[in-house]
Amino acid sequence: MSPRVERKYFRATALILIGLGVVVLPLATFLLGWFESTSADKNLEKVQNGIEADKNFAKDQTAATVAEGRIPELIAKQDVLGLVMALQEEAAAKQLSTMVAVNDDGVALARYPTTSSRGDFVAQTTPWGRSAAQGKALTTVGPGRNFPLIALSAQPILRGGSVSGAVYGGFWLDDDYAQHFKQIYFGEGTNIEVAFFTELDGVVGSSFASENARESVAAYINSGSDLVRAAGLQKRVRLGDRHFLVKKVAIKTAENEIYGGAFVFVPQNRAVQQYVLSVIFGLVFVAIILHVRRKPLRTVTVVDWLWLVLAGFIVAAMTFAAYRIVARTVVTPMDSPKPTIYNSVLGLSPNADIVDKNFEKRVAVRLASGGEPVNAVQIGLSFNPAVVQVRELVTTNSFCRQDLITQRIVDNTLGTVDFSCGLPTPGFGYGVGTIVELVLKPVADGETVIGFNKSKTRVLANDGLGTNVLRAAANGSYRVVDLASSSSEPSTSEQTSSALPSLDSLAAPLVFSSTHPNSEVWVASRRAEFSWQPREGYQAIYRLDQSSNGTPESGTVTASASTVVVLPADGEQYFHVAWLKDGVMGQVAHYRVRIDETAPEAPVVRASQNRVKVGEVVRFEFASSDATSGLQDTFYTKVYLKGREEQLRLPSASTLSVPFEQPGTYFVEVRAFDNADNYSDTKYVIQVESPSLIQKLIDFVRSLV
C-alpha cells in the first residue's frame, strides 16, 4: 500500500471512528429503549387481559352463587349468622377473596373476610350497589369499602320483577392477589413483577417476594409520586442488583375514571445487551471500512487486518462504554431511601358512609407508611356523641403488639378517643395497616365527623429518634339513618294543596355524592354527582348555594333520582334537596362539598448557600401557602446532578440538609401540595465546585495526620 493510499485509508478510518463516536451514544440509547420497550408493551397487554379475565371470572362465579339460591334464601330470612358462615364457604368454593350479601333495602347484611363490617347502605354509596339496586349487574374495578382497590361483580337478586337483594363477589388487589396474578398470567418462575396502586394510597399490593423490595417500591410509588401521577410512564429503575423497565397501565372505574392501576416491572439483562451491541458495532465498523476500500478481500494485507481488528475492537469498546454511560444516566435507583421521608398517612376505612341506625358499625384507623418503618403511633379522635357512641376499641387486626398498647381511652360524653401503641424493630414499614378499629353504636339519626386531633396524633419513625413522620391525616364523614322510617310515606292528611307548605310533610331524601363522598375532604373537581333514593310518585327539588341550612325553594325540579352539577367556584358549597309532590315540599337534606381546583403558591426555597465546594452540606428551607383548602405539611423534593441520574421525588419536611459529593450543576426541585392534591413546583440551582489542588493537598496531609 502506497503512503498516499495509506493516508487516505487512515483518514477514512479516523472519520468513520469519529462518526461512530458521535452516533454511538444516541444510537445505543435508542436501541436500549427499543429492546426494552418492545417486551414491556407485551407484558402490559397481559396485565390488562389478566384483569379483564379476573373480572369475568368474578362475574361468572357471583352469578352462579345467585343462581344456586342458598345465599339469596339466607338474605330473604335476614339470617346474618348463617350468611357469615355461608359467605366464607362460598368464597372458598368460588375462589374469590371477598363477598358481600345485601338485603332489599340496599344494606350490607354480611361480608367476607371482614365479617364484622356490615350495616352500611351500599346501594347508595357504591356504583355497583346503585347498579344492583336498579336490577342491573355491574362488574368493575374501583375503591372498596374495606380495601383500597378491588375487582368486583355485583349481581342483583330478582324476584317477581323486583330487586330483593344482591350478592357481590370479587378480589382484593393485595399482595396475595399480586403474587397469584404474576404466576397465572406470566408463568411459574418468571422474574416479572407487578405492583397495584391507587392515586390516594400508593402501592396496595405487589408481587415482590423480598420485604426490602416491597418497602422500597412503596416508598417511591406513593400518593404524591410522579410515578403515580404521570399519565404515561416508562422508566428504568434499579432495585438492589436487579434492573427493570417499569411501565404503568391505568385501571378505570365503572364511571370510566382512572382510580389507580398497575406497574409492571420487566427485568433487564444488561450484560447480554451490552456485549451483543458491542460486537454488532465492531463488526459494522469493519464492514464499513472494507466497503470504503473497494478492493477484493484477497488484497487485504496482514497489516490491514491488524488495523481493522484493532479499530473494530476500539469501536466495540466505545460502544461498551457508551452503553454503560447511557444505562447509568437513564436508570433510577429505587433502593430503600436512607433519610427520613415523612411519608406516613393516617385515614379511616371507610372514610365516608351511610349507616343504618339498627346496625353497629366498625371504622378502622389505618396507616399507609409509604415504605418508611414506624414503631409507635399516637391517635387522638373526636366524634359526635349525640349521634354515635364508641362501644369498643378492637385491636385484633392491629399491626401493633398487644403488650405495647399504652393507651386506650374512650369518653362517650365528650366524644373523644385516645389510643397509643407500638411495636419493636424493624417496625411497620409496608403497605396499609390497621392500628385500631372503632365499634360504633348509632344512637340517633344525624351526622358525625370522626376527626383527628392534630395535637394528639403522631406517627414515630423507627429511626432511634422518635421522629414524627406524619404527612397527613384525613377525617371521616358519616350519616346515621333509620332506613325503615326513611322509606315510609306521609299520610294523606299531611299533604296539603298550598304552594310550598311545612318542611315536615315529607321525610328528607337520603342524598350521596359519588364524586365527593366525604364531606370533610377537599376535592379538585367542580363537577359533582348527587344521587338519592328514588321514591315512586314523587319528584325532587334541589338547589346549590353556600348556606349550610338553605332550602331548595325556587330550585330545579326533576323526576330523576340523580343529577350532575358544575359548582361555580372554589370553597364550600351546599346541595339542598327535598321531595316534592302536588306542590308539597318535604324536609330538606343538606350535603356539603368542598372544592379547590387552584394550585398552592409556588414553593419558596431558601438555601444556606448556592455555591459550595465538594463535600459541603447545604441546608434548605421550604415554604408555601394555600388560601382555600390549606397546605399539606409535607413537601416533595428531588435533588439531581445535571446530565446524570435523576432521583425520584420523595416527601420531606420543610427543612432539608443535603451533602454534595460530586462537582457540577445540581437541580433541587420542590413540590408543594394543598389538601385537594393540587400542586406547584419550584426549581433551585446549586453549583458545586471542585476543591483546588492546594486544598486537595491540605486535605490529603490532614488525612495522614
User: Do residues 587 and 647 share a domain?
Assistant: no
Provide the β-strand partners of residue 101: 110, 167
Is the pLDDT higher at 199 or at 153?
153
CA distance 247 to 165: 41
User: Do residues 88 and 14 share a domain?
Assistant: no
Q: Which of 450, 481, 512 is the last residue in one of the domains? A: 481
Mean pLDDT of 148-169: 94
Name residue 641's amino acid. Answer: L
Mean pLDDT of 657-671: 91
| Helices first, then strands: H and E counts in the chain | 12, 40
Mean pLDDT of 51-63: 96
User: Do residues 347 and 325 share a domain?
Assistant: no
CA distance 191 to 266: 8
For residue 487, pLDDT over 70 is answered with no
Q: What are the pLDDT digits (tens) for 275-322?
A: 666 777 677 767 766 666 666 666 666 766 776 677 777 777 777 776
Structural domain total, the chain: 5
Q: What confidence score (pLDDT) does residue 497 get?
A: 36
Q: What confidence score (pLDDT) does residue 502 get?
A: 45
Share of the chain above pLDDT 70, in %: 80
User: Do residues 190 and 166 share a domain?
Assistant: no
Going from the C-alpha of 189 to that of each of 7, 183, 237, 242, the distances in angstroms are 57, 8, 21, 16
Q: What are the pLDDT digits (tens) for 640-663?
A: 888 765 667 778 889 999 999 888
For residue 568, pLDDT over 80 is answered with yes
Contact 341, 651 (CB under 8 A): yes
DSSP states of 223-237: TT-HHHH-SS-EEEE
Residue 63 is assigned to a structural domain of this protein: no
Mean pLDDT of 547-566: 92
Contact 376, 406 (CB under 8 A): no
Q: Which of 578, 597, 616 is the last residue in one of the domains? A: 597
Q: What confidence score (pLDDT) does residue 493 get?
A: 37
- The helix/strand/coil state of 492 is helix
Provide the β-strand partners of residue 366: 347, 434
For residue 10, pLDDT over 70 is answered with no
Place of cell 404527612: 471
User: Do residues 394 and 512 share a domain?
Assistant: no
Share of the chain above pLDDT 90, in %: 49
For residue 6, pLDDT over 50 is answered with yes
Q: What are the pLDDT digits (tens) for 378-391?
A: 999 999 999 999 99
Q: What confidence score (pLDDT) does residue 496 get?
A: 36
User: Do residues 475 and 502 share a domain?
Assistant: no
User: Do residues 351 and 316 share a domain?
Assistant: no
Residue 587: CATH number of its domain: 2.60.40.10
Which structural domain range is residue 678 located in? 604-704
Residue 62 is assigned to a structural domain of this protein: no
Q: Which of 448, 481, 514 is the last residue in one of the domains? A: 481
User: Do residues 41 and 156 share a domain?
Assistant: no
CA distance 591 to 241: 53
Q: What confidence score (pLDDT) does residue 214 get?
A: 86
For residue 18, pLDDT over 80 is answered with no
Q: What confidence score (pLDDT) does residue 527 get?
A: 93
For residue 455, pLDDT over 70 is answered with yes
For residue 157, pLDDT over 60 is answered with yes
CA distance 214 to 626: 34
User: Do residues 156 and 287 share a domain?
Assistant: no
User: Do residues 182 and 159 share a domain?
Assistant: no
Which residues are CB-contacts of 14 (< 8 A; sequence separation ≥ 6)? none
Residue 59 is assigned to a structural domain of this protein: no
Going from the C-alpha of 443 to that of each of 238, 307, 358, 393, the distances in angstroms are 54, 93, 9, 18
For 691: left if phi > 0, alpha if psi spans -120 to 50, otherwise beta; the answer is beta
Band of pLDDT at residue 491, cut at 50, 70 and 90: very low
Band of pLDDT at residue 430, cut at 50, 70 and 90: confident
**Mean pLDDT, all residues of the chain:** 84
Q: What confidence score (pLDDT) does residue 543 get?
A: 95
Name residue 95's amino acid. Answer: Q
* Number of CB atoms found within 10 A of residue 504's CB: 10
The C-alpha cell that represents 29 in the structure block? 440509547
Helix (H) or strand (E) holding 112: strand 108-112
Residue 344 is assigned to a structural domain of this protein: yes
Q: What are the pLDDT digits (tens) for 90-132?
A: 999 999 999 999 999 899 999 999 888 888 899 988 889 999 9
Residue 284 is assigned to a structural domain of this protein: yes
Mean pLDDT of 420-443: 90
Q: What confidence score (pLDDT) does residue 411 get?
A: 97
Residue 60 is assigned to a structural domain of this protein: no
For residue 346, pLDDT over 90 is answered with yes
For residue 590, pLDDT over 90 is answered with yes
Mean pLDDT of 13-33: 59
For residue 614, count CB atoms less than 10 angstroms from its CB and return exposed for 0-12, middle for 13-18, buried for 19 or more: middle
Is the pLDDT higher at 487 or at 600?
600
Q: What confidence score (pLDDT) does residue 8 get?
A: 56
Q: Could you give the count of Cα atoms lying within 13 Å of 360 in the half-sphere of its Cβ?
A: 13
User: Do residues 658 and 670 share a domain?
Assistant: yes
Band of pLDDT at residue 671, cut at 50, 70 and 90: very high
